[in-house]
Structure 1
Amino acid sequence: MLFDLPDDAVLYTALLARDAAWEGRAYVGVTSTGVFCRMTCPARKPKRENCRFHETVAGCLEAGFRPCRRCHPLACGSGAEPSVAPLVAALEADPARRWSEDDVVARGFDPSTVRRAFKRQFGITFLEMARLRRLRESAGVLAKGGKVIEAQLDAGYDSPAAFRAAFAKLLGQAPAKFAEDALLRADWIDTPLGAMVAVSDRSALHLLEFSDRPALPSSLRHLLKASKGSLGLGRYAPTDQVEAELGAFFAGQNATFRTPLALEGSEFTRTVWQALVAIPAGETRAYADIAREIGRPSAVRAVARANGANRIALVVPCHRVIGSDGALTGYGGGLWRKRNLIELERGYARA
């Protein structure tokens, strides 16, 4: 489990010592460079505040980090499966390539066997690994003001149409349509549970969702319509603020978020969201509990719908709502994230 790792102080000490005991058990993502490394990497050590520790390679990739070219973390322990080492080497040699099952077959491997092998080794398939790297790199190019064609080439897409379709699926529209001087700006935030997309204006946060959440494209389309097309790439101050607060939250230091929020919804929906914000970290509520707290005891289903409509994950903590029988209920970011968040917040309850 993700939070079986010790605290960051222990891991940072191990990183400085290049402690081989942590080889394959933990990895470090460096926010200042965007790469992730083995704990024994010979490169110059990053500042502690720039380190994000993960238990798996998949966690690093999902958080948007690229593998280090000095310590080659994808090759760490890859000899356990015959197909893994050569495919990892091929991916490192050509990370911009748009890999397919045909490429896997051409190298003499069975796609089904490769899928299972990579899942066991890294918690992610080979094609998912390649796609995450392409999309993350292309988003970085665009966020820095690069041209669409540059992002397309960096992502390894063989045609502008293919690239635009992939980007549109992730962020809700083709990259060329993002405004340069936009009212709203979208950017990535890396977390121990995977990359998140944050959208803010100059004064408030409008959206914070995990990048693989199925509802993300529709949420972005809603914001695009509400802003009359004024949605661009980059960030304003609220995104910086929530990124810092998320860092403290995942480090177990502070569960309080003070970033100004733009809560867009009906009066009833906003009332439900405000009730969610009032749930202390380390505690949970059932939908029926929320309905009673807002004075609408018969509106349990409406509360559930409002909970599911939340577009500001973690800050508006819809993950703290569970079933009346104590079972975990649906969560847009995935039940595995909900379990880890509840487990993390038990530390706040004990404190």
Structure 2
Amino acid sequence: MLDLSEDRLYAALSNRDPAYEGRAFVGVTSTGIFCRLTCPARKPKPQNCRWFTSANAAQAAGFRPCKRCHPAGATAEGDADVTRLRAAIEADPARRWSEADVAEMGMDPSTIRRAFRRHFGMTFLQMAREARLREGARRMAGGDAVIEAQLDAGFDSASGFRQAFARLFGHPPAAMRGGGGLVADWIDTPLGGMIAVADDAALHLLEFTDRKALKGQLAKLSKDAGGRIGLGQSEMTRETARQLAGFFAGDRARFDLTLSPHGTTFQRRVWDALIRIPAGETRSYAEVAQAIGQPTATRAVARANATNGIAIVIPCHRVIGADGSLTGYAGGLWRKEKLIAVERGYASPESA
């Protein structure tokens, strides 16, 4: 556990220690402002510091959020360079980026590389490549030839485009166009792109495109389906996109989708318990274990939570540590912060 003594907290503030992100905040009595411990602003004197374990607690004590590190938002939003580069990807997803481009924008490429890995588990260039791959997938789903999709996605060779798809899906893009029982579609959300895999009857997978385990999940689905996964849309993927849009807009606390998660009997019991957690509430792993009638299975519950393949709809983000910490989230802690923030608006019965 992190040392939350005042001396250690002040040392973390002085060193801008990222280990305390989301776990501790400092209120500065001389300015009335509170910050992340990683804030680049000038450090206050120790006697002017008040310490808090959440942004809500700091605001309840009368402190205003800092305009430099944005402590009331998700962790990644506190890094202005990260926010700027993510916006650049969204504005031009087909652009082919290099570290020289990053340097030309006045940023240090090595610093940016570390920041993106810390927040998202991948580098900025990897994130940009995923965006180009997504653009190519959209063109192919619309019926474009592979080479046209490759050019639109900004890849400099058809082989590079095919290799990227093969790494993700387990087979090259041309083999996907014929389709099959399952189809994969890209869905844009405020938290980044997601891949939805479904047939006409049920949703089988919904995962962020940058999740490391995605390739293995897609390969397993393809094997379970007895062959390839096609690239395109079904009524279920379209309905998933509609309901996700409603969720993020604040109009839908619950999802009404037929689900077909791929897992063991125990995993499915855990996932069923997660769905029963109301939006706006959280549970510890121990509480989920109690809910399924196996109070000693806390670790197994944590593993099942981590292997959930239908993100958001099966709300594994609502499970937190026993001490109230967010703990791990396969889609990135910054997304978990955002999802919990979205669901605060669903906490009252009227919102459900």
Cα distance in 1 for partners of 2:127, 2:261 equals 34
Aligned residue for 1:341? 339
Cα distance in 1 for partners of 2:188, 2:105 equals 33
Alpha-carbon shift at residue 133 of structure 1 (Å): 4.6
Q: Describe the shift of the 1:117–1:269 C-alpha distance in structure 2 as closer, same or farther (beyond 3 A).
A: closer
Aligned residue for 2:108? 113
Contact 1:60 1:194 in 2 (8 A): no
Aligned residue for 1:192? 190
Deviations 1:199-258 (A, max 9, x none): 000100000011111111111011111112231111111111111111111111111101
Which piece of structure 1 moves more, 145-154 or 201-210?
Answer: 145-154
Q: Which amino acid aligns with 1:273?
A: W
Aligned residue for 2:329? 331
Q: Describe the shift of the 1:110–1:338 C-alpha distance in structure 2 as closer, same or farther (beyond 3 A).
A: closer
Alpha-carbon shift at residue 327 of structure 1 (Å): 0.9
Q: Which one of 155, 159, 162 corresponds to residue 164 of structure 1?
A: 162
Aligned residue for 2:285? 287
Q: Which amino acid aligns with 1:315?
A: V
Cα distance in 1 for partners of 2:307, 2:153 equals 32
Q: Which amino acid aligns with 2:108?
A: T
Q: Which one of 263, 266, 288 corresponds to residue 265 of structure 1?
A: 263
Q: Describe the shift of the 1:119–1:208 C-alpha distance in structure 2 as closer, same or farther (beyond 3 A).
A: same
SS in 1 for 2:192: coil
Aligned residue for 2:207? 209
Cα distance in 2 for partners of 1:216, 1:185 equals 15
Aligned residue for 2:254? 256
Q: Within 5 Å, which residues of 2 pair with 1:1-351?
A: 65-67=90-92, 98-101=96-99, 104=101, 113=108, 127=125, 130-350=128-348, 351=351
Identity %: 52
Q: Which amino acid aligns with 2:209?
A: S
Contact 2:141 2:177 in 1 (8 A): no
SS in 2 for 1:190: strand
Moved over 6 A (4+): 117-120, 123-126
Contact 2:222 2:228 in 1 (8 A): yes
SS in 1 for 2:189: coil
Calculate the TM-score normalised by the size of structure 1: 0.67
SS in 2 for 1:167: helix
Alpha-carbon shift at residue 188 of structure 1 (Å): 0.9
Cα distance in 2 for partners of 1:215, 1:255 equals 27
Cα distance in 1 for partners of 2:171, 2:87 equals 26
Contact 2:243 2:255 in 1 (8 A): yes
Q: Which amino acid aligns with 1:205?
A: L
Alpha-carbon shift at residue 276 of structure 1 (Å): 0.3
Cα distance in 2 for partners of 1:325, 1:248 equals 31
SS in 2 for 1:199: strand
Q: Which amino acid aligns with 2:193?
A: A
Q: Describe the shift of the 1:61–1:318 C-alpha distance in structure 2 as closer, same or farther (beyond 3 A).
A: farther
Number of residue equivalences: 264
